[in-house]
Amino acid sequence: MRLKRLLPALMLLSTTPALAEKSPASLKKDPELWVTLGTDTVESVRESFRSVGWEEPTQELVKGEATMFRVRESQLEKLATLMHEKFNRCAGFMTYETRDEAIASLTPAPALATQNLVTYTLDNAATATALMSSMTEANVRSTITLLAGYTTRYYTSTTGVNAVNALRSKWQGFIPAGRTDASVALFTHAAWAQPSVIFTIRGSTLPDEVVVVGGHLDSISSGSTAPGADDNASGIASFTEVIRVAMLRNYRPQRTVKFIGYAAEEVGLRGSKEIAAWHKNNGINVVGVLQLDMTNYKGSSVDAAIITDYTNAAQNTFLRNIITTRAGYTHTNSTCGYACSDHASWTNQGFAASIPHEATVSAGNRYIHTSSDTLTNSGGTANHALKFARIAASYVAELAKGTAQ
Ligand SMILES: [Zn+2]
């Protein structure tokens, strides 16, 4: 989950040396990027700039509720860190490699016709139950522990790359010999070291229709370590358990299912943005996307909160039915108020995306983006994340259909 404390981030912009002062070499080393933020924050940003005697920041473009600024790549980490440390207000940003791309993002993609072709039905209880019945808290916990064991999973760090390779190996180990319809592959990103990783089960009868379940695998912190146990080892762990039982129970989906661990979410949804754009540009018919970002901290009385902004209303209704009818949990609605996680990357490309969250946003885990985002500080077990594994398994069983044994 990306946090929104916006003011210091923009203050940072005002300290950026003018681009003209930089040599071409340093430009290459620390490229300029474009970020988009909520326009509703601009007046208070100006006010805060004036109050410390700084020059007001220059907006490159304002369109509707969004504003575009230019930053440097090296500023992204501080930007995210400062936002978390000093201000209570939550705000987010999306990062783009080119000015044109940032401008294009401010024009919402039209809904794809394919979205409307999906008929949501709940008729696959046997498969959902088969998958859910094999899930265990200990297995979910083991993935959280694995990922949180790295000093950081920051998108430019060596340990952030090592963690992805460990996750890829874990997923590879779930595939039984002879199962040629299941595979694991890295999705590399040209602009930074950390790859994303994708586990694919090819659909038996509708292989060209794709169901995506994903979450980000990177972490970020204002402290000395970034365990990111809840944000977002928990979401990865929840759907890793779906992958495990899908292989264990010989799940054969009708539609293709892709489980994706996204790189570089905390610095502006960068990994998912490239992956969603790749699917759009290659004409892939993605019929639904489920995002899991923070699943193990039980901050609300209900089991799950459905984020209603930057998501698809029809699929959200389908998800609520799944949570109640298949998984057997309670839910409520909540909003982020900004593009708070990777689902927004898919929404921006016109795909139907939803995100069930661990709690209402205001009641979520307070330790995220610090050295204290540990398993202990989200209750010491993976009991809550297990619920989201069950929700994700039910979602896959009912949207990708197919059988399990
Ligand atoms: Zn986060």
Along the 405 residues of the chain, how does pLDDT read in single tens digits? 887 654 444 333 334 444 444 455 556 677 787 777 777 777 776 777 788 887 777 777 777 667 777 777 776 776 676 556 554 333 367 777 778 777 777 765 555 545 556 899 999 999 999 999 999 999 999 999 999 999 999 999 999 999 999 999 999 999 999 999 999 999 999 999 999 999 999 999 999 999 999 999 999 998 899 999 999 999 999 999 999 999 999 999 999 999 999 999 999 999 999 999 999 999 999 999 999 999 999 999 999 999 999 999 999 999 999 999 999 999 999 998 888 999 999 999 999 999 999 999 989 899 999 999 999 999 999 999 999 999 999 999 999 999 999
- Alpha carbon of 284 to ligand 1 centroid (Å): 28
- Taken in order of first residue, the domains within the chain and their CATH numbers are 7-105 (3.30.70), 113-399 (3.40.630.10)
- Alpha carbon of 3 to ligand 1 centroid (Å): 6
- Alpha carbon of 204 to ligand 1 centroid (Å): 36
User: Catalytic site residues?
Assistant: 216, 231, 265-266, 293, 369
- Alpha carbon of 287 to ligand 1 centroid (Å): 26
pTM given for the model? 0.84
- Alpha carbon of 202 to ligand 1 centroid (Å): 31
Q: What HEC string does the chain produce?
A: CCCCCCHHHHHHHHCCCCHHHCCHHHHHHCCEEEEEEEHHHHHHHHHHHHHCCCCCCCCCEEECCEEEEEEECCHHHHHHHHHHHHCCCCCCCEEECCHHHHHHHCCCCCCCHHHHHCCCCCCCHHHHHHHHHCCCHHHHHHHHHHHHCCCCCCCCCHHHHHHHHHHHHHHHHHCCCCCCCEEEEEECCCCCCCCEEEEEECCCCEEEEEEEEEEECCCCCCCCCCCCHHHHHHHHHHHHHHHHHHHHCCCECCEEEEEEEECCCCCCCHHHHHHHHHHHHCCCEEEEEEECCCCCCCCCCCCEEEECCCCCHHHHHHHHHHHHHHHCCCEEEECCCCCCCCHHHHHHCCCCEECEECCCHHHCCCCCCCCCCCCHHHCCCCHHHHHHHHHHHHHHHHHCCCECC
- Alpha carbon of 154 to ligand 1 centroid (Å): 11
- Alpha carbon of 188 to ligand 1 centroid (Å): 21
Collect residues with CB below 5 Å from ion ligand 1. 1, 231
- Alpha carbon of 34 to ligand 1 centroid (Å): 20
- Alpha carbon of 231 to ligand 1 centroid (Å): 5
- Alpha carbon of 74 to ligand 1 centroid (Å): 18
